[in-house]
Structures are given as C-alpha cells and as structure tokens.
Copies of this chain bind each other. A is one copy, B any other.
Amino acid sequence: MKSSSRKPVLAVPGRATSYDVARVAKVSQSAVSRCFKPGASVSSKMRARVMKAAEELGYRPNAIARSLITRRSNMVAVVISQQTHRYFPELLDELSRGFSARGIRVLLFTLEKESDIDVVLEQILQYQVDGVVEAARLSGEQVDMLEKRGVPFVFLNRSLRDRPVNAVCCDQAEGARWLVNRLVEAGHRSFGIVSGPADSVVSAERTQGALERLGELGIRQVAVVPGNYSYESGAAGLRLLESKLGRVPEAVICANDVMALGCMDAARHDLRLGVPADLSVVGFDGVGPARWKSYDLTTVQQPVRRMAEAAVSMIVERIEDPTLPPEKRTFSGILTHGSSARLRKP
C-alpha cells in the first residue's frame, strides 16, 4: 500500500489538509488557501510550489470545510420509503438528475416504512443538508424541527392539512375520480379496490378519491381490501375481493400499477378470466412495466419528470431566499388508456 510511505508527512494517511500542504511546500496555510480560491491573487512561483506539494499529498480543497464557511453543504436529503423506491424508481432517478444538473448531491434516506421518519430526522439535521425532499410522513412536531433550523423542505405527494408547507403533488384524488368516471360510464357496476400500505398517504388519497366518487355515483357494490404495493399483494387482493363480494367484481382499482399487474396475472392465470372481457383492471403511477405488451395497463401516469423538476427548483429557490412563502404545486395525472380496462359500453 502506498500510504505507508506517506505516514511521516500526514496525520491521517491520504487525507491531507491545507496545513499539510503548507508544511510540505514551506508556505503559510493562507497561501495554500489562496491557490485554491478562484480569482485570488498569487504568484506563479508560489502556485507551482503549492501545486507540487498538493499533488504529492493528494490534497484537494475540502467541500465540507468550505461548507462551514458558506453554511452551504450542497447536499439535499431525499427521504423515500423502500416501497416507493422499489415500485417507482423513476422518482429518485428524476430527482437525482435534477439536483445533479444544479451541482447539488442527493443524500439518500430510504425508510423501511413511510412512518419510520423519526429514526432519520435527527440524522438529516446533523448532516447540515441545504434542503430536504420528503416523500414520507412527517408530523407537525417534525415540521417544527425543520422550520426551527431554517432548512427548506418540499413534500412530495403529500402535504399537511393545517399549516402552510411547500409541496409538489400529483392530484391523486382527481386521477382516481377520473378512473371511476370512465369505468362507470362504460357500465361497470361492481368495484373492488386494493389499497396500498396502511401508512401510505398516496394510497389513502387514491383510495378515498375512488370511494367518494363511487358513492356520489350511487354505486353500492364496492369492497376495499389491503395490499402493500407489491405484485403479490395485488394478486392476493383479487382473491380477497372475490371472497368479500361473493364474486369477482367487474372492475378492480389498484392503488399502484405494480399491484394492478399482479391482479391482472391472478385473473388470467389463476382464475382463467379474460382481462378486460371478464373484469377491468386499472392502476396508478405510469411505471415502465405498465406499458409492457403483456399488460398494457389503463392507469394514471404521474408526470414524474415535471414533478421532480418542480421539487428541485422549489428547494433551490428557497436555499437562495429562505423568506419565500410556502407554495404548493399540484399536477394532474395523465389518463393512459390501455387494453386492461373496458372503457366503452359493451
């Protein structure tokens, strides 16, 4: 290992500081600083001497040390549940792309469950991130902590009812109502709903939106069963609905796409039913596999790139100017007609 030969020079092998460089170059630490500060005045002889020592020691100016002076870390925390990440990887992709384009890095916090935020909030604050994108549940007290620290944050697909916060959302209820309208117009009269994890805000909004609209339209045969966003829970959901209603419903609304794909496969392969001949299945998200030819799912697509860009720019604006008032941006989902649902009268 090369590091052993450098031990006499460096306190910690490989982690040279500006003081180490100064000692080796036989100049002051402030001279080293100037050499690495864009636009600072320094003689070419001095620069050559410092650069030679820096090269020798593998020194690089320390973004973290700089962050103590600027009070900017150029890091943003992204908090996301494992389920959301696993079944909707597009979201983190687009956030990472958006922040990278602005020279900001993503410090990733994945939660086993949405409601596990307690565990990581203290850590998020300790890392002195410049902002937080929250795709997880946060209580009022937790929002207090962030606000007290002046760390700008944006909720993604969730909000708080009783206080102004920054949020970027897809209109889950609107999307769910659309789906119900189209299915009822096409003549469906019995409905099953497979919801997501109990602590998922997004699932609650979608499920509630669908139930409300079904109620308004006077549809009485409705059953709701729990899922957990996974393919397997969508397949199991269909069987639960069958036993709850006494028969397979005419239409199944799943709280995300991946469960809808599981439900379609259970209908076709386990129950030998035609989709959409015997039942219609719809989802929500617009993930890649929903477009695959084996599924061709009718769904509501979240405009994920636009949503991520909105979240990124809302955070960046508030890092620049923390006095900006809270803002909420709501995007309509895009109704995507696939062949998994019958959307015309038979």
Q: Across the interface, which residues of B come within 8 angstroms of A125, CB to CB?
A: 60
- Chain A interface size, as a band, is 35 or more
Whole-angstrom CA separation of A96 from B301 in the bound complex = 27
Whether the pair B93, A82 counts as a contact (CB closer than 8 A) is yes
Whole-angstrom CA separation of A12 from B149 in the bound complex = 10
Chain B residue nearest to A124 in the complex (CB): B105
- Shortest CB-to-CB span from A323 to chain B, Å, is 6
- Shortest CB-to-CB span from A69 to chain B, Å, is 11
Whether the pair B231, A288 counts as a contact (CB closer than 8 A) is yes
Q: Given A14-B150, A14-B322, A86-B90, are A105 and B105 also a contact pair (CB < 8 Å)? A: no
- Is A40 an interface position by the 8 A CB rule? no
Whether the pair B75, A107 counts as a contact (CB closer than 8 A) is yes
- Checking B61, B68, B149 against A68 with a beta-carbon cut-off of 8 angstroms, the contacting residue is B68
Q: Which residues of chain A in 238-295 are interfacial with respect to chain B, using CB atoms and an 8 Å cutoff?
A: 261-262, 264-266, 268-270, 288-289, 291-295
Whether the pair B123, A96 counts as a contact (CB closer than 8 A) is no
- Is A28 an interface position by the 8 A CB rule? no
Whether the pair B68, A65 counts as a contact (CB closer than 8 A) is yes
Whole-angstrom CA separation of A289 from B63 in the bound complex = 41
Whole-angstrom CA separation of A251 from B325 in the bound complex = 60
Q: Which residues of chain A in 280-315 are interfacial with respect to chain B, using CB atoms and an 8 Å cutoff?
A: 288-289, 291-295
Q: Across the interface, which residues of B come within 8 angstroms of A1, CB to CB?
A: 322-323, 325
Whether the pair B322, A3 counts as a contact (CB closer than 8 A) is yes
- Shortest CB-to-CB span from A137 to chain B, Å, is 18
Whole-angstrom CA separation of A107 from B105 in the bound complex = 7
- Shortest CB-to-CB span from A111 to chain B, Å, is 9
Q: Across the interface, which residues of B come within 8 angstroms of A291, CB to CB?
A: 231
Whether the pair B106, A108 counts as a contact (CB closer than 8 A) is yes
- Is A62 an interface position by the 8 A CB rule? yes
23 A-B pairs with C-beta separation under 8 A: A1-B323, A3-B322, A4-B323, A13-B322, A15-B71, A15-B150, A58-B149, A62-B68, A63-B126, A63-B127, A64-B127, A65-B68, A85-B92, A86-B93, A100-B109, A105-B109, A105-B123, A105-B127, A106-B107, A231-B288, A231-B291, A231-B292, A264-B294
Closest 10 CB pairs of A and B: A14-B150, A58-B148, A63-B126, A265-B293, A294-B294, A89-B89, A96-B110, A106-B108, A269-B293, A58-B149
